[in-house]
Amino acid sequence: MPSPFQLRGAAFVAILFAMGRMASGGFFEFGERPLGSEANRQAAAFLGAEAERMGYEVQRLPFKCTRWERGPSFIDRGGERVEVFAGPFSPAFDKLCDAVMVTSTQQLKRTKCEGNIVFLRGEIAKEPLMPLDFPFYFPDAHREIYALLDEREPAAVLAVTGKHPACGLNPYPLFDDANFKIPSGYLDEAAMAKVLAGKGKIRLKLDSKSIPETGEQVVIRKKAAEESKGKIVIFAHMDTAYGTPGALDNAAGVEVLLGAMERLKDYAGPYDLEFVPFNGEDSGMVKGQMAYLDRFGKEMDAIRLGINIDAAGAKGSKTAVSAYNLEDARQAWLNGEIAKHPRIERGPEWVEGDHSIFVFQGVPCLALTSSNLREGVMAISHTPQDTIDQVDQGLLGEAADFIAGLVNGL
Ligand SMILES: [Zn+2]
Do 182 and 257 fall within a single domain?
Answer: no
Is the model more confident about 10 or about 86?
86
Ligand 1 center–CA 149 separation, angstroms: 30
Question: Which residues share a beta bridge with 208?
Answer: 70
CB 387 within 8 A of CB 379: no
State the alpha helices, DSSP H only, in 247-299.
252-263, 287-296
pLDDT in tens, 323-370: 999 999 999 999 999 999 999 999 999 988 999 999 999 999 999 999
For residue 14, pLDDT over 90 is answered with no
- The number of domains in the chain is 2
Do 196 and 245 fall within a single domain?
Answer: no
Specify the pLDDT at position 45: 93
Ligand 1 center–CA 254 separation, angstroms: 10
d(CA 145, CA 184): 14
Do 320 and 248 fall within a single domain?
Answer: yes
Q: Among 206, 229, 256, which residue terminates a domain?
A: 206
Q: What is the arithmetic mean of pLDDT over 99-107?
A: 96
Specify the pLDDT at position 29: 42
Ligand 1 center–CA 121 separation, angstroms: 28
Ligand 1 center–CA 289 separation, angstroms: 13
Q: Count CB neighbours of 141 within 10 A.
A: 12
For residue 201, pLDDT over 90 is answered with yes
- What's the CATH code of the domain at 121? 3.50.30.30
Specify the pLDDT at position 134: 84
| Distances from the Cα of 167 to the Cα of 5, 100, 175, angstroms | 30, 29, 15
Return the percentage of the chain with pLDDT > 70, whole number. 93
Ligand 1 center–CA 109 separation, angstroms: 36
Ligand 1 center–CA 270 separation, angstroms: 30
pLDDT in tens, 219-240: 999 999 989 999 999 999 999 9
pLDDT in tens, 288-321: 999 999 999 999 999 999 999 999 999 999 999 9
Longest dimension (CA), the chain: 76
Q: What is the arithmetic mean of pLDDT over 182-209?
A: 96
Do 180 and 314 fall within a single domain?
Answer: no
Ligand 1 center–CA 14 separation, angstroms: 20
Do 80 and 54 fall within a single domain?
Answer: no
Ligand 1 center–CA 152 separation, angstroms: 35
State the alpha helices, DSSP H only, in 129-217.
140-152, 189-197
Ligand 1 center–CA 107 separation, angstroms: 35
Ligand 1 center–CA 98 separation, angstroms: 39
Q: Among 206, 222, 249, which residue terminates a domain?
A: 206
Q: Among 180, 206, 232, which residue terminates a domain?
A: 206
Ligand 1 center–CA 93 separation, angstroms: 31
- Residue 348's Cβ-count burial label (10 Å; 0-12, 13-18, 19+) is exposed
Do 365 and 258 fall within a single domain?
Answer: yes
Ligand 1 center–CA 17 separation, angstroms: 19
Do 77 and 63 fall within a single domain?
Answer: no
Specify the pLDDT at position 24: 30
Is the model more confident about 337 or about 3?
337
Ligand 1 center–CA 67 separation, angstroms: 19
Amino acid identity, residue 273?
L
- What's the CATH code of the domain at 300? 3.40.630.10
Domain range enclosing 254: 4-67+212-409
Do 277 and 195 fall within a single domain?
Answer: no
Do 163 and 296 fall within a single domain?
Answer: no
Specify the pLDDT at position 57: 98
d(CA 170, CA 394): 31
Q: What is the arithmetic mean of pLDDT over 265-287?
A: 95
Report which DSSP code applies to 132.
Answer: T
Specify the pLDDT at position 264: 98
Ligand 1 center–CA 390 separation, angstroms: 15
Least confident piece of the model among 67-76, 125-134, 257-266 = 125-134
Report the first-to-last Cα separation within the chain, whole angstroms: 31
Ligand 1 center–CA 250 separation, angstroms: 5
Ligand 1 center–CA 280 separation, angstroms: 10
Do 126 and 98 fall within a single domain?
Answer: yes
Do 246 and 376 fall within a single domain?
Answer: yes
To the nearest whole number, what is the mean pLDDT of the chain? Answer: 91
For residue 10, pLDDT over 60 is answered with no
Ligand 1 center–CA 354 separation, angstroms: 8
Ligand 1 center–CA 256 separation, angstroms: 13
Do 262 and 311 fall within a single domain?
Answer: yes
Ligand 1 center–CA 221 separation, angstroms: 23
Ligand 1 center–CA 255 separation, angstroms: 13
Specify the pLDDT at position 9: 42
**By C-alpha distance, which of 215, 246, 274, 258 is closest to 384?**
246
CB 302 within 8 A of CB 238: no
| 3-state secondary structure string across 177-194 | CCCCCCCEEEECHHHHHH
The DSSP annotation for 43-92 comes to HHHHHHHHHHHTT-EEEEEEEEEEEEEE--EEEEETTEEEEEEEPTTPPP
pLDDT in tens, 64-100: 999 999 999 999 998 999 999 999 999 999 999 999 9
d(CA 171, CA 182): 19
